Structure 1
Amino acid sequence: MKKILPIIAFFLFVVTPQIFAQTKVSGIVVDKSKQPIPFANVVFKNSSIGTVTNEDGRFYMESPNTYTTLVISSIGFSEKEITLTKSVNYNFTIELSEQQSLKEVVVYTGKTSKKNNPALDILRKIWEKKRKNGLYQFDQYQMEKYEKVEFDINSIDSAYKKQKIFKGMEFIFDHVDTSKVTGKTYLPIFVNEALVDVYGDNKIPKVKEITKANKTSGFEGNQQILSFIKDLYSDYNIYNNYIALFDKTFTSPLSTTGIDVYNYVLRDSAYIDKKWCYNIVFYPRRKNELTFKGDFWVNDTTFAIKKINMAVTKSANINWVKDIYVEQEFDVLSDSIFLLTKDYLMSDFAVNKKEKSKGVYGKRTTYYQNHKFNIEKPAKFYKEEVNFIDNEVYKKSDEYWEQNRFEKLTKDEEGVYKMLDTLQTVKAFKRLTDVVTILASGYINYEGFDFGPIFSTFGYNEVEGIRVQLGGRTYFGPNDPWRVQAFTAYGFDDNKFKYGFAGKWMIEKKNRIIISGGNRRDIEQLGASLTTTNDILARNFGSTAFFTTGSNGKLTDIGLTNAYIAMEPIKNLTFQTGVTYKTLESASPVFSLDYYTTMPTAENPAGVVKSKTVQSEFNIQATYTPNRRTIAYGVERSIANSPYTTFFVNYSQGYKGIIDSDFNYKKLEIYYKQPIIIGPLGRSNLILELGKTFGTVPLGLLSIVPGNQTFFTIDNTFSNLDYYEFITDTYATFQWNHDFNGRLFARIPFMRKLNWREFVGIKAAYGTVSDANRAINASGLVYVAPENPYWEYNAGIGNIFKVFRLDFSWRGNYLETVNTNRFTVKGSFGFYF
């Protein structure tokens, strides 16, 4: 036994360090005046593992292997090596000296040259061959995908653990870990795994994903969270000129426009997996632009990317996200085909970008394997399911996951699953998630019933005065096949109760055949939008705005009853038809909807006037929203992405005499919205609305060019118009709005740090009203139609304190109108990345 002990001791001495071998290092790189050196290169010697310091000169790196030397270099400085005496080395301060002699090395200081730069020669080869690399070179492809998404609370310290919010949940801190990217401690709060079969056809082009298994721990309501994540972490291709992340468009380091926004340096060359590769470092030429810093390894013959690491610069104009880190690895197939096998994306969500600020990590790790090529499938295979959910994919056993995961869970990760499952039973955690749910949805849920929306509880207008509203809806889950909702409201000035109720039921799931109906009696601001919907409980903001410019007493007492049937035979193409019965009457003594039923004559100069409009109407409409993604599979769905194209057409026909209906007429409405992403220049929205009413109708049934008398920006309205300023029966409106995403302000030195964003836009309206419709008008309101097209233009500043936007709008013509709004200022609040 005594002879064996030394052998065992030696075995443990040799093997144990290999089992637990790991190197971690962090610090700051400075010059001789102790100023940080941004975008310096930091690598483990004799490896391809490296990073680039951030704008504050700081870095963090780790590896499961043991390294003893760190190499630091930067343009214009001499290279320096640091000996690592321990496996964990934090808070180094590394000083670099300015380079004294160039020798045979070409040094670029500040902005690198666009001429005689070998890195740019390689970059041009990448552009030339990018369509011949990866999946692009095949007509069809198949592969298996494993995806793991995790959300973590980060920057866990002793003070954080003692907060009252965690009382009763202290056990969760047994699972704190350290990020391999930032070196910060974190605690997992949500984990999702998915196994997916991916099919693609580059000739069509189409991609279809079939989920085989899905597993979640951390929160209930998995589908909403997963849909949110799907939009938040949308797929991207580093070979594309622009990469969309968090509703922003970043310039890819491989972009053909990259030379204008990035500096490139050829740093090294080496064999990686038996392939000779060049290493190129890139970093932004200017601050505040949506760019990355990092490096990539590229093969010397195919010029395909072997590995790329990149992080968003902290000065980038993006809110609520402190860090974004992307890592992709490509493996070689058949000696020359480089295919993506690993994609890692980490984001650090935080209120601000200070180094010590706490937040939440969002991490997505994706692996690909078992590629197959040129197996053609019929076009109908790629047709999207309209409304399909396979609940079996959420019920796979632990044994199934152990056998089919691309990588096994570590013991720490297995412990996280157990911790999250236990967390669901803790009352304190349930209370916390309930608060988050209420703020996000606007409803308070109690045993299958939602009280709300809470944000509509109070309102104000000149007729009702202070308005109090209570309501609710049935809600058992996001996939409810039916829903009933109702509200009641009371105005303290008119002393009247209002009410509304509606219900809908999905009678067939595959094609989303839904029947709906309801009744409502309320006070409404007509003319606040042109294109109408049939949502019986919808109420525009102009009806209850607490603060308005000028009088908003032109309100209508509306009674509305409808019944509809809708279906979606093709994904994102919906048809709906039904009937509506409505009554319209002025709700204010300062406003009239009167019309002549008998025209004035010499014998009867007053004519016969009626104040109430009664109308029965048949309606059919179609809505097409390509590329829209939705949440859940029930009778109601939420939108999971933006922007997307919208095309809407509505045809209505009024029938006189049916249930005492007053008028015969036909009405056609068309709405078209097209978002356009213009790379680094931002995003535009084009909106076109067309409409015509055939027949003679009173004021309540005409089309009003929508004004905006609130102090807030409202989509699809004209900021310098009052309600009922322009009245039409034939109209065309056009709107163009553009968000530069801070591109212009980033070029102005003293404005860069503000991270403001600039907006511009123009709106125009054309319309006419027939002599017959003018003739029956007895309201006393003079009909003015914009036969000489009305227009206004605006410029705005957004991202003020991250949540506020100001729009300044100027009226282009019709300036002679009494009390005209030549210039207005509107504001809006919103949380945007």
Structure 2
Amino acid sequence: MSDFQQNKLFPFSLKTISLITWVIVAMVVANVSNVTAQQTVVKGRVIDAETGDPVPFVNMVFAGTTIGITTDFDGFYQLKTDLAVDSISASYIGYVTRVKPLQRGKVQNINFQLKQDLVNLQEVVFIAEENPAYEILRNVVRNKNKHDRRNLSAYEYESYNKTEFDINNLTEKLRSKKVFQKISSVMDSLVQIAGEDGKPVLPMFISESISRFYVKNNPKIQKEYIINTKVSGVGIDDGSLTSQLIGSTFQQYNFYANWVNLVNKEFISPIADGWKTYYEYSLEDSLYVGEHYCYKIDFWPKSEQDLAFTGTMWITRDEYALKQLDLSVNKTANLNYIEKIKIQQELVPTEASPWIAGKTRVVIDIGQLTKNSPSMVAKFYSSNKDFVVNKPYPSKFYETMIELDEGARIQPKGYWENNRHDSLTATEKNVYMMIDTLKNIPVVKTFTDVVKTAFTGYLKMGKFDLGPYVRSFANNEVEGIRLGIGARTNIDFSDRWILQAYGAYGFKDEKWKYRFAADYIISRKPWTKVGVETRRDMDQVWLLNDDLENGSIFFAFSQFGNITRPFNHLENTLKFETQIRNGLTQKVTFKQHDFSPLFPFQYYEDPGNNESAIGSSFSTSEISLETRFAKDEIFIQNDNNRVSLGTLKWPAFTIKYTHGFKGFLGGDFNYDKLNVNVTQSLKMGFFGVSRYSLSGGYIFSQLPYPLLKAHIGNESPFYTPIAFNLMDFFEFVSDRYASLQYRHSFEGFILNRIPLMKKLKWRLVANANILYGSLRDENLNVALPDLDENGVEIPAFRTFGNTPYIELGYGIENIFKVIRVDAFHRLTYLDTPDVRKFGVKISFQFIL
């Protein structure tokens, strides 16, 4: 082809074509760059304006589009689009929707603070067809066993827990008070904790802990090994007690169970077996949550005062597993002092199918006690990782349910920065700084000391505690005015030795009373302690009962007014206690006791021989073996003390055998006694909580009546669960007996259904106290009849016939949130003219 022909077909030269090609490429590149430059990217975090906490599951949407995402569990989000957008909205049920402007075509951070909004869910009516959420719920219940962690043979994980307590609603009137002026100046000098739109709060406590949590099922036993803790609080020391309470043991919420324990109350789970009875449901959406396509279901209780939840849950479409929840309990529920509870939980699947909580957040708003008083917010956060399933350890491994590493309170440099699961927010760093400042203010230190003294009964003064204050004053017909003072050492003195002393003086009998005691902790793992004690005092015969604690308020009250069969005594005790294994404790006690009556009392020194010498005073020497078995009892160590938090499910059994030695250290009698006791709390969901104590005992020997079983009566106007409340002091004595003391709190089960009553939040209670005993003639005849100054016989006590003693009671608790009133009817042994057939008792209690 000729050059002319080529030019006719291709009018552009190769040079020109090359130039055009580069221009086209440049235009394409420029266009792509322009598109990239115009893409809008927004990321940030959503928090609660009042508490400063992250808000998960919030709908983040570019306004005017369908492009959106939900915030993750920690409130973070990221969105991008090529569309022309100018604003982004954040919306979620229970919060006021908020819209913020954005800059188109840029990468930017936009954070939101959402204000809470009281939203009442509208009633949803399904006509003709079944509620579409019901079939999903039925499938969830069918698959519960597959996904419930209780069906694993064992599981374990590393747990990071964070706890914070803040005081809020600090009104200007409160801040203007003189006592708050120095505190207010501290608050004004620091960054406001809640943030740009939040309310000022006063942080009081923050803690962190890292532990390894172990569970073995069937039967369930658990163990938490606390690796490290960090505690900062106003009036709260970084002691061993606090370090044990902030771990994972007390942050367990399993919504696959029918009932969820929260603030020591039983709440019905939204996926309980009887879900349809308690809740209404609405299927709102279906969407991806991470890798799982989920159904989004809203739910709310049928009765607003029931202990139930309002919220949203996400159910996986393929497995019908619970993926995440956002729940709240509003102030309409039958709870005291609590305005609102919010729980958010995100679950993760394990390799064996069951799902375990990966992250849990709980926020509890504790309301104002009075109009001008502040309120409190309690926050709990738990993060779990490194799951291991179906690899149980030997049962001995779980013997100590909460174990604190010896170096747990030591803070190696950089430890928390490298080991906490999530970094601290700027807000939380401010909390630490503010607490360190507040706790050094003198007025704050004084106030916290007063509060701790009121709760413990002791005032800490360096290495010693002064008290207990309940035994500092008494007034009765024998001693007249009685003044006393006591003290004990604390852990600052020694982590092994506990020394105690108490002295009192009666201005009428002009006698000194005293108590000296020394305990030595041999081992903390297993708990093993030995102690000695000597005590000289004035007591009453009916108080010779192991069910009463010498330092209890009921015991202290008995020191006022008329005294029933008083005596002076000297008591020396040697005791040993050890934990044999988890739930099994053994005590051995040796006691020597001298008894000197202050009332007419005589007995045959050789029981059964009416011609033997007659005495009035006597001595005993005895040894007692006490075994206690409580399968799932939780113990914590409070400095130098071991404190029981009760059992989770199983009853606690106690068996005690006592043998008295005649001739040993002045003992006047040989005798044998046996006592058995079973106690348990039974949680019955909406029906309330029952508590029972079943006891039985037998005294095999002949003894004068001060050494027999004197059953505890109650002549005071106050209710006490350990006493028979219409029985007089020292009314009944036996040498063999069986008793049942049963209490039931209906919570709001009945009164919540009465329109005029439910706003009061009163709660019904019921009592049944039954006692059957007998006294063999050989013991009845050991003591001579008591005679007055004129030689007239004084009835000492009553004995049981063929009828048990029965009293039934009913009452109302939660009157003004703190008062309980019980009415009792005595049904048997009504034949004496001054018997109390009916009585009303009052008590004061702090309950939620």
* TM beyond 0.5: yes
In structure 2, do the counterparts of structure 1 residues 334 and 543 end up closer, same or farther at CA, with 3 Å as the change threshold?
Answer: closer
Offset, 1:393: 2.3
Offset, 1:223: 2.8
Partner of residue 641, structure 2: 636
Offset, 1:496: 2.6
Deviations, residues 514-557 of structure 1 (Å, cap 9, x unaligned): 22111112122332475457x7x556725634777xx5433232
In structure 2, do the counterparts of structure 1 residues 747 and 292 end up closer, same or farther at CA, with 3 Å as the change threshold?
Answer: same
Partner of residue 258, structure 2: 241
Say if 1:631 and 1:638, in contact at 8 Å, map to a contact too: yes
In structure 2, do the counterparts of structure 1 residues 69 and 526 end up closer, same or farther at CA, with 3 Å as the change threshold?
Answer: same
In structure 2, do the counterparts of structure 1 residues 823 and 235 end up closer, same or farther at CA, with 3 Å as the change threshold?
Answer: same
Partner of residue 826, structure 2: 811
Deviations, residues 181-217 of structure 1 (Å, cap 9, x unaligned): x964433322211122233344554433322222222
Say if 1:804 and 1:830, in contact at 8 Å, map to a contact too: yes
Partner of residue 792, structure 1: 807
Which secondary structure does the structure 2 equivalent of 1:418 belong to? helix
Larger radius of gyration, structure 1 or 2?
Answer: 2
Q: Report whether the alignment pairs 1:623 with 2:628.
A: yes
In structure 2, do the counterparts of structure 1 residues 153 and 65 end up closer, same or farther at CA, with 3 Å as the change threshold?
Answer: farther
Q: Report whether the alignment pairs 1:267 with 2:267.
A: no
Aligned equivalents of 1:93, 1:513: Cα separation in 2: 54
Partner of residue 609, structure 1: 614
In structure 2, do the counterparts of structure 1 residues 411 and 221 end up closer, same or farther at CA, with 3 Å as the change threshold?
Answer: closer
In structure 2, do the counterparts of structure 1 residues 482 and 231 end up closer, same or farther at CA, with 3 Å as the change threshold?
Answer: farther
Offset, 1:754: 1.0
Aligned equivalents of 1:25, 1:509: Cα separation in 2: 45
The residue type equivalent to 2:806 in the other structure is W
The residue type equivalent to 2:554 in the other structure is F
The residue type equivalent to 1:714 in the other structure is T
Aligned equivalents of 2:477, 2:249: Cα separation in 1: 42
Say if 2:541 and 2:564, in contact at 8 Å, map to a contact too: no
Offset, 1:466: 3.3
Say if 1:150 and 1:364, in contact at 8 Å, map to a contact too: yes
The residue type equivalent to 2:642 in the other structure is R
Q: Report whether the alignment pairs 1:717 with 2:727.
A: no
Say if 1:698 and 1:776, in contact at 8 Å, map to a contact too: yes
The residue type equivalent to 2:602 in the other structure is D
Taking the TM superposition and a 5 Å limit, the aligned residue runs for 1:312-351 are: 312-331=329-348, 338-351=355-368
Offset, 1:702: 1.0
In structure 2, do the counterparts of structure 1 residues 257 and 465 end up closer, same or farther at CA, with 3 Å as the change threshold?
Answer: farther
Q: Which runs of 5+ in 1 are unaligned?
A: 1-9, 27-40, 52-60, 75-79, 99-106
In structure 2, do the counterparts of structure 1 residues 199 and 49 end up closer, same or farther at CA, with 3 Å as the change threshold?
Answer: same
In structure 2, do the counterparts of structure 1 residues 157 and 586 end up closer, same or farther at CA, with 3 Å as the change threshold?
Answer: same
Q: Report whether the alignment pairs 1:768 with 2:774.
A: yes
Number of aligned residues: 771
In structure 2, do the counterparts of structure 1 residues 406 and 134 end up closer, same or farther at CA, with 3 Å as the change threshold?
Answer: farther
Say if 1:525 and 1:540, in contact at 8 Å, map to a contact too: no
Say if 2:661 and 2:671, in contact at 8 Å, map to a contact too: yes
Partner of residue 750, structure 1: 756
In structure 2, do the counterparts of structure 1 residues 571 and 115 end up closer, same or farther at CA, with 3 Å as the change threshold?
Answer: farther
Q: Report whether the alignment pairs 1:256 with 2:267.
A: no
Q: Report whether the alignment pairs 1:443 with 2:448.
A: no
Q: Report whether the alignment pairs 1:404 with 2:415.
A: no
Partner of residue 659, structure 1: 665
Say if 2:516 and 2:534, in contact at 8 Å, map to a contact too: yes
Partner of residue 740, structure 2: 734
Offset, 1:799: 1.0
The residue type equivalent to 1:544 in the other structure is F
Partner of residue 297, structure 1: 314
Offset, 1:314: 0.7
The residue type equivalent to 1:177 in the other structure is I
Aligned equivalents of 2:276, 2:120: Cα separation in 1: 27
Aligned equivalents of 1:339, 1:643: Cα separation in 2: 20
Which secondary structure does the structure 1 equivalent of 2:542 belong to? coil
Offset, 1:653: 1.4
- The two structures have a TM-score, normalised by structure 1, of 0.83
In structure 2, do the counterparts of structure 1 residues 252 and 371 end up closer, same or farther at CA, with 3 Å as the change threshold?
Answer: same
Find the partner of 2:155 among 134, 138, 141.
141
Say if 1:616 and 1:654, in contact at 8 Å, map to a contact too: yes
Which secondary structure does the structure 1 equivalent of 2:758 belong to? helix
In structure 2, do the counterparts of structure 1 residues 68 and 600 end up closer, same or farther at CA, with 3 Å as the change threshold?
Answer: closer
Partner of residue 498, structure 2: 483
Offset, 1:84: 6.0
Which secondary structure does the structure 2 equivalent of 1:342 belong to? strand
Offset, 1:625: 3.2
Find the partner of 1:360 among 376, 381, 385.
376
The residue type equivalent to 1:693 in the other structure is I
Find the partner of 1:384 among 391, 400, 411.
400
Aligned equivalents of 1:683, 1:450: Cα separation in 2: 36
Say if 2:259 and 2:272, in contact at 8 Å, map to a contact too: yes
Identical columns (%): 28
Offset, 1:616: 1.6
Q: Report whether the alignment pairs 1:566 with 2:577.
A: yes
Find the partner of 1:463 among 455, 478, 481.
478
Aligned equivalents of 1:115, 1:641: Cα separation in 2: 49
The residue type equivalent to 1:630 in the other structure is F
Find the partner of 2:605 among 597, 603, 606.
597
Deviations, residues 195-253 of structure 1 (Å, cap 9, x unaligned): 22233344554433322222222231433334455699441201111111122111112
Deviations, residues 307-366 of structure 1 (Å, cap 9, x unaligned): 211111211122222221100013466798754221001112234498x97322111111
Aligned equivalents of 2:118, 2:804: Cα separation in 1: 66
Which secondary structure does the structure 2 equivalent of 1:394 belong to? coil
Partner of residue 4, structure 2: none
Aligned equivalents of 2:127, 2:497: Cα separation in 1: 64
Offset, 1:622: 1.6
Find the partner of 1:280 among 282, 288, 297.
297
Say if 1:231 and 1:641, in contact at 8 Å, map to a contact too: no
In structure 2, do the counterparts of structure 1 residues 48 and 160 end up closer, same or farther at CA, with 3 Å as the change threshold?
Answer: farther
Offset, 1:165: 3.3
Partner of residue 101, structure 1: none
Aligned equivalents of 1:617, 1:126: Cα separation in 2: 61
Aligned equivalents of 2:756, 2:69: Cα separation in 1: 39
Partner of residue 122, structure 1: 136
Aligned equivalents of 2:704, 2:266: Cα separation in 1: 48
Say if 1:665 and 1:695, in contact at 8 Å, map to a contact too: yes
Aligned equivalents of 2:263, 2:533: Cα separation in 1: 38
In structure 2, do the counterparts of structure 1 residues 698 and 233 end up closer, same or farther at CA, with 3 Å as the change threshold?
Answer: same
Aligned equivalents of 2:595, 2:753: Cα separation in 1: 54
Offset, 1:800: 1.1
Offset, 1:677: 0.9
Aligned equivalents of 1:796, 1:231: Cα separation in 2: 37
Aligned equivalents of 1:718, 1:797: Cα separation in 2: 19
The residue type equivalent to 2:162 in the other structure is K
Offset, 1:728: 0.7
In structure 2, do the counterparts of structure 1 residues 770 and 456 end up closer, same or farther at CA, with 3 Å as the change threshold?
Answer: same
Which secondary structure does the structure 1 equivalent of 2:605 belong to? strand
Aligned equivalents of 1:408, 1:709: Cα separation in 2: 59
In structure 2, do the counterparts of structure 1 residues 114 and 344 end up closer, same or farther at CA, with 3 Å as the change threshold?
Answer: farther
Offset, 1:685: 1.1
Offset, 1:809: 0.7
The residue type equivalent to 1:292 in the other structure is F
In structure 2, do the counterparts of structure 1 residues 695 and 441 end up closer, same or farther at CA, with 3 Å as the change threshold?
Answer: same
Say if 1:557 and 1:586, in contact at 8 Å, map to a contact too: yes
In structure 2, do the counterparts of structure 1 residues 88 and 447 end up closer, same or farther at CA, with 3 Å as the change threshold?
Answer: closer
Taking the TM superposition and a 5 Å limit, the aligned residue runs for 1:191-206 are: 191-202=206-217, 205-206=220-221
In structure 2, do the counterparts of structure 1 residues 665 and 344 end up closer, same or farther at CA, with 3 Å as the change threshold?
Answer: same
